[in-house]
Amino acid sequence: MEHVITLKGFFEEARAGRLTGIRCGECGELAIPPKEFCPACAKRAWAPVPLSGEGVVASYTVIRVPPRGRAGEAPYAVAVVRLTEGVSLLGRVVDIPLESLVIGLPVKFRPIIDGAQTMVGFGPS
């Protein structure tokens, strides 16, 4: 049986507020967002794993010159969040003042919905 969660499926779940990773049935490696092949053993034997969405800020960057179309939104922060399950995920920081952003700050996953687009966000835990 095929239990592959696609990148599209990942964002559909994220839109509903659920963060889903994938675990390699071959070597146990956990990955997020979905990849074609396991970066650890190069197999394609993924099974979906629901994640808590909780983690801590591992690193962050404040975006002051935003990409085209997002000029009104800067400055904002993008953080690499280390989830409690041990995987890291990049997301946009929401509802946390930039001056209180520090490495190790506990955060929680939250979808950012912009029309048909869903982005990964992290807010206060």
- By the criterion CB under 5 A, which residues form the site for Zn ion? 24, 26-27, 29, 38, 40-41
* Of 44 and 108, CB closest to Zn ion: 44
- Shortest CB 28 distance to Zn ion, Å: 7
- Shortest CB 36 distance to Zn ion, Å: 12
* Of 86 and 115, CB closest to Zn ion: 86
* Of 45 and 80, CB closest to Zn ion: 45
- Shortest CB 5 distance to Zn ion, Å: 15
* Of 41 and 47, CB closest to Zn ion: 41
**E strands of 1-125, at which residues?**
19-24, 30-31, 46-51, 54-63, 76-83, 88-93, 106-114, 117-124
- Shortest CB 8 distance to Zn ion, Å: 22
Distances (CA, A) of 74 to 4, 42, 67: 36, 39, 9
Does residue 71 sit in helix, strand or coil?
Answer: helix
Residue 60, both tokens: 């962050």
